[in-house]
Every structure is written in structure tokens, then in C-alpha cells.
Amino acid sequence: MNLDSAKIFCDLVEIKNFSRTADLHGISQSAVSQQLAQLEMTHNTQFINRKKRPLELTEPGQVFYRGCKGLLERYDQLNSELAALAKTKCRINLASIFSIGMHTLQPYIRKFMKIYPDVNLLIEYLDAKNIYAQLLKGSIDIGVVALPKRDRSIMVHPFKNEPLVLICSPRHPFAGLEKIDIHRLRGEKFIAFSQGIPTRHHIDSILKQHGIPIQIVMEFDNIETIKRAIEIESGVSILPLPSVQTEVSRGTLAVIELANKHFSRPTGIITQKGHPLSKAGQYLLELMQNETEAGL
């Protein structure tokens, strides 16, 4: 006996009609009769009294029906448990630098979780050097970094170009301006990223190209501490716009556009070559790429 035969038998018992049972399973009425006859012949007993209308189970038929019903219920439960296990087994390890992960990345994560609510998406905030190392070790599936570097073992997928803007305290003389010439930063007390951080090198290059000497008074390895230092009027800084929008909306920081040209910080999504992503991981990657291309 197979599970299909058990299902047909149980449906016949419950519907009490050969024709309707056949329609339910998309087979002929004679096929239902043959299935029943085969079961009765295999067990050398009669399960249904065909002389009764509606159909009536014999005593062995009642025993066989309860057994088949229990078997089908256990099989359905087994499928449900396996499906649930498969869902929980799907895990994506994503690491991002803090400034992107806490701000730019969040709308993508929310949209992804609506589509894949059962995927275990683990997000870590690491420095860029650690993200590259963890990716090459296979400890993470997807990395999100600023100014991604090329490597023969890494695939780089373009992400957002984040506008760079001047940030100061609302009490700073620059705070009332909508735009400012970058040359006005000459001699200003400047709060910078620590040496070795890619964004520090990028901003230093911009200032050098425009011949602007600045007075670096503080250096920090994370954007949150830089923002706190600006709030207490320790100096000004150039930062990615998405990372300061919360403070600007609260009025604790002021943002001024740099008038000379559109300065930006390129960001990228990195994956390891030769290590294909799961279906859910590929969807997350494509979601971030597609919405970036669409300007969302």
C-alpha cells in the first residue's frame, strides 16, 4: 500500500461516493474501485459493504480507516516539521560598516524580511578590514563597505553613492548656510576618521585636491563618536548625508551642502567568488542592486 491509496481510501470513506472521490483525485470511478479491490485483496478481507447506501465500513474497514487516517496525519506532520526545519536552516550572515548598516541599509533589510520572514538574517557591524577577512574565511555571506577595494577572490557589486556634506553644530557660524565653498574650511577645527579607515583617505584626498589645509583636532574610528563631538562644538566634519539625517531632523546637527561639486562616498556590496549565495541571499543582493539602480 502506498500513501496515495491510503488517501483515496480515506476520502472514499468520508465522501461515501465512488464518483465524487474519483473527481477529487482526477481519476476514473473504475480506478477508485480497483484501488479498493487491491487493498481488500492484499489484506484478504472486505473493508466496505457495497450493498449499503450510502457506503458502510465493515469492522475490518473501520480498523483500516483509523490506521490510514493516523498514517496520513503523521505524514503531514512530518512534512510540516521538515519544512519548518528547512526554513530555520536558511541563514544569511551579513556584515556592514556601522555608518551604512545603521542608516542606508535599513530600508532594504525591512523589505527583505517581509518577503523572507523565516530566514535567519544575522547582521554584524564590523570595520572594513574585518569584513574582508571574514568574507574570505567564509564566515559571512555578504559584506557592505565604503570605497570597496578590488580583489581577485571578491566580487564587488555597486551600491549607493552617498552624498558627502559639511556637518557642524547648529550654533556654529556655518549653520545658517544652505551651501558653502569647500575652501572656507581652511584652518577650521576638523574632526576626522582615524587613519587607515577608507573614508578618511577619501576625504583627505578631496581636501588635498582643493589645496585645503585643515586643523585636525580629533580622530575617531566610528561615525557616532564623530557626531557626538560635533554636537558639543568641538569642530566640523565632512560626513555621508544618510548617516546624519536623524540628528539633523532632531536639530542637534546642521548640514550644509558643499557648493563646489557633488562630492560622494561610493559604497559596495561584496561577496566571495566561487561561493554562490542561497536563493534568499541572492534575492537580498538583487534587491539592493535593483533599487540602487532605480534610485530608491
Q: Is-same-fold flag (3-87; 162-264)?
A: no
Q: Contact, 167 vs 240, CB < 8 A?
A: no
What would the grid cell of residue 223 be? 561615525
What pLDDT does 82 receive? 78
**236: which strand partners?**
190
Find residue 277's DSSP bridge partners.
Answer: none
The pLDDT of residue 201:
96
Task: Calculate the alpha carbon distances from 187 to 109, 112, 174, 235 in Å.
Answer: 41, 45, 14, 11
Yes or no: domain 162-264 corresponds to CATH 3.40.190.290 = yes
With respect to CATH, is domain 3-87 assigned 1.10.10.10?
Answer: yes
Domain boundaries, the chain: 3-87, 91-160+266-293, 162-264
Q: Which CATH class is domain 91-160+266-293?
A: alpha beta
Dihedral sign, Cα of residue 275, residue 278, residue 282, residue 287: negative
CA–CA separation, 9 and 76 (whole Å): 17
**75-130 residue pLDDT tens:** 989 988 777 666 556 889 999 999 999 889 999 999 999 999 888 899 999 999 99
